[in-house]
Structure 1
Amino acid sequence: MSADRFVLLQPGETRQTRVPLPPGFGVKVATADSEGRFAVLENRLDVDIPVHVHELMDEFVYVLEGEMEIDFQGRTHRLTAGMCALLPHGIPHAMRNASQPPARALQVSTPGGWDNFLEDLFAAGPSVRAANGAMDLEKVNAIGEKYGMHYTQGTMTLD
């Protein structure tokens, strides 16, 4: 038994991460907590997430409040509070906020690694920024490579 992996969080509480994540990103179950099986994050969709692919991870998104849109296989799907979507690995998709205040969603990725990718991304700091302040997707993809993740188009600004 692995009782030592028991995690109990109070409302608004998140797991400690190796590097601080910006407001709006909260790790509820870290990849290490689940022995690599999955990761759970609570995210506020403050920015649009451009088209990207998870080669290894399935991604499940459950909207807690607000509204968001998911582009998947040429269609845009609008999700409202209580709706959810499974984004299978290997298929490009994008997400964007569709409400004010921004949508809040629970994200489950399996196998885990999404939290580790975010830690690596934010640990890189300004080195992954282009001259215009947006993320340099080539540099972001270099970080995402070990997680089987890459962005295919678009721009992204994370603050």
Structure 2
Amino acid sequence: MLAPVNERPTHDWMGTTYQTILAPQETAGAMSITQIIARAHDGPPRHIHHDADETFVVLSGDVEFWLDGTRFTRGPGETAHIPRGADHTYRVCSDTPARALVILSPGGFENFFVEMAQNNYAIPTDMPAITALATAHHLDFTGPPLEDAS
């Protein structure tokens, strides 16, 4: 049996805190839910998950998404669904950190964040190792992080 949510570890990687609150082991691999707290004006490079759908439920802050060339913003109580195989990224567009639940179906990709944090990898200095780990988790980087549109 897994630990209660409030006892599960958090992992910090490049300014974002990750905590898996529903592990794939609890859903027979069907899904996972990771809570993230991301810094203001921060986000990952553009990328594609080849084997998982990703849904964001924004709990606080405002998050701008880029999905296959379309930009849109979601705030508290709103969601964004990213189908597997879709080129996407996001960035916190509020002046405060954003908190969101990230639902992955099937589960498994959340281990990428754990491994990145444990190895203390940094973008761009550790990109060869990051790319290798991403490939093992069925993810390809496709472009830079999202820039402010204003």
Instruction: Tell me the TM-score range normalised by the shorter chain.
Output: 0.7 to 0.9
Q: What is the TM-score when the length of structure 2 is the normalising length?
A: 0.82
The residue aligned with 1:142 is: 132
The residue aligned with 2:11 is: 21
The residue aligned with 1:88 is: 83
Identity, in percent, stands at 23
Report the 3-state secondary structure (helix = DSSP H, G, I; strand = E; otherwise coil) of the residue aligned with 1:153: strand
Distance 1:66 1:111, change over 3 A: same
Q: What is the TM-score when the length of structure 1 is the normalising length?
A: 0.78
Unmatched 5+ stretches in structure 1: none
Report the 3-state secondary structure (helix = DSSP H, G, I; strand = E; otherwise coil) of the residue aligned with 1:28: strand
Deviations 1:113-140 (A, max 9, x none): 1221111212222xx436xxx4533321
Distance 1:14 1:117 in 2: 20
Deviations 1:19-75 (A, max 9, x none): x61162111012223232211011112231110100001000011011000001211
Q: Radius of gyration: which is bigger?
A: 1
Number of residues of Structure 1 aligned to a counterpart in Structure 2:
141
Distance 2:127 2:51 in 1: 19
Q: How does 1:100-139 map to 2 (within 5 A)?
A: 100-125=95-120, 128-129=121-122, 134=124, 136-139=126-129
Structure with higher strand content: 2
Superposition misfits of 4+ residues, deviation over 3 angstroms: 134-138
Amino acid at match of 1:32: Q
Unmatched 5+ stretches in structure 2: none
